[in-house]
Structure 1
Amino acid sequence: MKKIYFLLFTLLFTAASSFAQVVINEIDVDTPGSDTAEFVELKAAPNTSLDGYIVVFFNGGNDSSYGAWSLDGKTTDANGFFILANTSLVSGSDIDLPPGGSGYIQNGADAIAIYQDDIANFPNGTAPTMTNLIDAIVYGTSDGDDAELLTGLGETVQYDEDLNGAKDTESLQLNAAGTAFNTKAVTFRDFNDAAVCALSLSSTSAVCDAFTPGTDTYTATVDFSGGGTASYTVTANSGTVDFSAGDPSTDATGTITVTGVAEGTDVMISVVDGALCDLSSTVTSPECLPSNTLPLYEGFDYTVGNDLGTEANWNNFSGSTNPIDVVSGSLSYTGLVASTGESVFLEGGAIDSELTFTPVTSGDVFASFIINVSDLSNITDTTDGGYVVILGDFDARLWIHPDTDPVGTTYDIALTNSSTGENFSTTKYNVGDDVLIVMSYNIQTGAINGWINPASTDFGGSAPTATLTDTDTSPSSIIDTFALRQDSTGETPAMIFDELRIGTSWADVTPSTLSLTNVNRNAFSVYPNPITSGIVNISSTNSEAISVQVFDVLGKQVKNETLTNNTLNVSNLKSGIYIVKISQNNATTTKKLVIK
């Protein structure tokens, strides 16, 4: 950058060579202690003669000069610089202000000017003039404007070295365009960094603080680098700025955080230093709709051959090869509602996938599903096999274990909190059979219960006596994930998995009629959202009629229509956040709609 910057100045001053242009490039008038590091840095083309130029210092106290210095016999150095400075900084042919002294340059409101004139015309006490004036700067350190100096030197701006509250460590520097001075960290006898804002903003994020049908708040963040280079002012047009993860005024890198932003409101985060840096980044509001609200049903109604981890609401969280695949067909169990989709295939040594749902912080979480173990032959761990299902953060694990050694065609099942299988079922299950499993976890007690092939007469009522039990001695305070695990090839059987239901009661996960929310909410599209035109488009992956109900945040129904052309007119609704319940056949989902 320095070479490019130097080239820019070289071209600038070469173009102006007919005027032998010399400019004030940087001044530092207020330095630590007794001002022993003050300087004025001039700039021209490299090795330019300064004969005929003088530098005059003006005192704002009486609006007249207090010193003038001839540059006869002086030249700029190989980089185009010439220095007038206190003794501690001078070298070579620099001018010492004054010889052997310090604290020469007034702190402001004052001025410094370059004239192409005879020094005899500027005895101390000379009023500022524009005659033969080449360049000038009127400056201060948090001082009021000096109108007489500004007018006398033809300037319109009085620059503040204390603009960022760092007058001892910052100077006034000419920008690359040569049009203004910026307050930045000192660049003595070096190319100014005033033309470059050292700070940069990068990636943003928005995370909901809660997931409710009403208006929630969210936390917005923006990453930064190049901090610690100036005093920055950070503002946001909504919410509260929090520097706990990083402050650009003091930290080189970090994250600016804005908390308590209202859902539906995009937040703009602005960062300025009063000089060159004037940055902003807009964070778009997330939709804080309860994600996969309970009870939910996952019938794996996806395209055969797809990677489960890429489908709506699923995520691959472990492993790198051989994902869980969507396969054709479905599993069934007598008395249980029939499948509405396909199924998925698991085997050993591959990727694990998880589903996140609305956090449960008290009571029980239930999950039911059907498995069909198709092959045990790869299993070499005949001690406890491996676990293929995880409820919560490894809070409850379902194990499949071949019950013979060598491995045959039957297996037993265990349900534990630990990382080893134990207390396996006494009943043996055959390869190729559809097996219904129900499991639960109690957040208060850590009680883990399991039921294998429960009687259909118990569906929809209260839970019968569990056939498998265990206890988590350190109960989790939250359950919000369900995962399918493909452990090593020596521990995991090949199996089909289908008909996942998650809820907070036995009845939720053992339905005799389809009454659960389909997890495949990406089957419906609602756009634009937010909406300003009065018309919202609602579509799905099939052509059957869509029923739409719209509720305000108080739960009052304000619309109830069956769409015929995939459009809903909401022009009569006031600005705000609404809940849209969309139904088609047995699939139902809810989404937030923001009307502006």
Structure 2
Amino acid sequence: MKSTITLFLLFFISLISQAQLVINELDSDSDSIDDLEFVEIKSNTPNFNLNGYVIVFFNGSNSGGNKSYLTFDLSGYTTDINGLLLMGSNQVSPVPQYIISPNLIQNGADAVAIYQADFTDFPEGTLATQTNLIDALVYDTSDPDDTTLMSLLGESVQINEDENNNKDFESIQLNNDGVTYTVTTPTPRQLNDGTGVILNGLSISTSATQYDEGDSFDITFTTENAVTQDQSFGFTLNNAGFDATDFTGNTSLTILNGDNSVTTSIQLTEDTIDEGDEIAMIQLTNLPTDFIALNDQIELRIVDNDFVISPWGTPTNPTYGIVTNTKPSGYYEDIDGLSSSDLTNALQGIIAEEGVVRAQTYADVIDILKKADQNPENSNEVWLVYLEISRSKLDFQTTSNNFGTWNREHTYPRSRAGYFSIEEDDFADGKDIFWNTTADSLRHGNSDAHALRAVDGPENSSRNNQHYGQYTGPQNTQGSFKGDVARSVLYMAIRYNGLEIVNGFPENGSGELGDLATLLDWHRNDPPDDYEMNRNNIVYEWQKNRNPFIDYPELVEYIWGNQAGSTWQNPLGIDDKNSKNIKIYPNPSSGSFFVIGIESRFNLSIYTVTGQKLTSFELEPAEEIQHNLPSGIYLIEFKNEQQRITKKLIIR
């Protein structure tokens, strides 16, 4: 009887041993942007079902506290014919079975571990434990040993991926003894000793990575070795809005016996619909078991040639008076006749009114900026503040690599304002789902689209949290952003309690941003144009508040400038009836201008935007009007027996 029990126990132990999983290879620091990092799991038997297992990464830094920062559920996956499961980004070659985002794995001193557990057992911030632990690897990149993390995981050795001073091109690999490790050239989806079944690598290639709607192009699939029998497989191009209606071509292919490649031609559909630029993704399907994908999920940019051109100009080629102000009737009536603190309090009451004004998530801002900062010359692009160029809406930054991308620029930097993101900010839930907000809701400044702009990724990093005046923009640009950012941060100072625009460059002043004198100068010399008015209208659709300094630029003077303390009077209304053919040229003007479109003698009067009449005289049609007006915005009234029309004039 005893021998029977012994045999049973030996059989049971054997089964457990066969099912054992180990961390077979880790590359935590692959290159400058860490898009080739990976972790590889090995089972003692091929095609092992990983249901009920999780892999957990622990942060050994002082701030990390030896707690979990990433957990991945392995359920639904199996190891391959060599007992391997590779996890990494689709930039790794061969392509991992388990795709994760690039640059997720930290460099150390950290740890990665396999548990027989549920995904929910390891919420972020779980202390490293040996409970249900299957295997663990504690590692670093020339960092001191984390003895506490090793103790928590029952490990006695911490492996240095940089022991050969070549961490960008080496990985930590488990030796056949199952105990020791070697740091050497990475071998993803291959056994570390070079044995095992050698799979036939299949690669995808195209002649370009970008095509125009209506183009045709070839996709070639090539194996490392000629096949010994016909091998069939498929692929898809579908991705988000790009689907079968956007192309024609054969997506089920066969490499014939003795060959090592097959090519298919794809014809992109030419339509008349502005769908925006799209990404087609070449993704393999039904791959034969003796094939291994060397690359996959190849992205092709499809440029839509049906983009829309707006009738107004870019910030570097501005127009004025084309975009209609959409402020509701009476929107600013509560500030009429006020001055000093009464004026600012009433203005704040309008743009921060509880129950009216809405706060959106930080993720919603991406959608807002795609409309508000749309390039007037191409509706598929955004216009980048500071750099003064356009960029495809598709190129929003989603990884740590910000080159060639755009992201969200806080004109009033977070670190100086004190607002921040919360978990809910990560979700775009649309225009009709919003937070209640007040003048005291400073955290909502984090996602206030009046003070967020589309920006080049590296330029955003260069600006950092510098005060304006310290930061003056890239060299060899027009500075077309200056008035825009001035008005956006001045808006913030009125909208939220706790924010202030001050003179100079305060070093540690929480809630203070400079330099006021610089910003006033920028505001005066770069008045609001149609581009800025359009974005004011779009942000109003989402937030139900406006930037008053775009609608009424002279308000700035009554709060911070040369009219501070004076009583504000709402400007005269502008009657645009019958005025489409009447234009001021040039506008903006410097020393003189003409009026085009009036065919008989007329009276011209010039007013400030507050309604103060400066001068009046009679003119003949097309007569040049000389002036010595200081920089600013003025109202020009034309009057004759047939009509009376008022238009804006910008003086630079």
**Greater radius of gyration (CA):** 1
Q: Which structure features the higher share of helix residues?
A: 2
Instruction: Report the TM-score when normalising by structure 2.
Output: 0.27
Q: Which structure features the higher share of strand residues?
A: 1
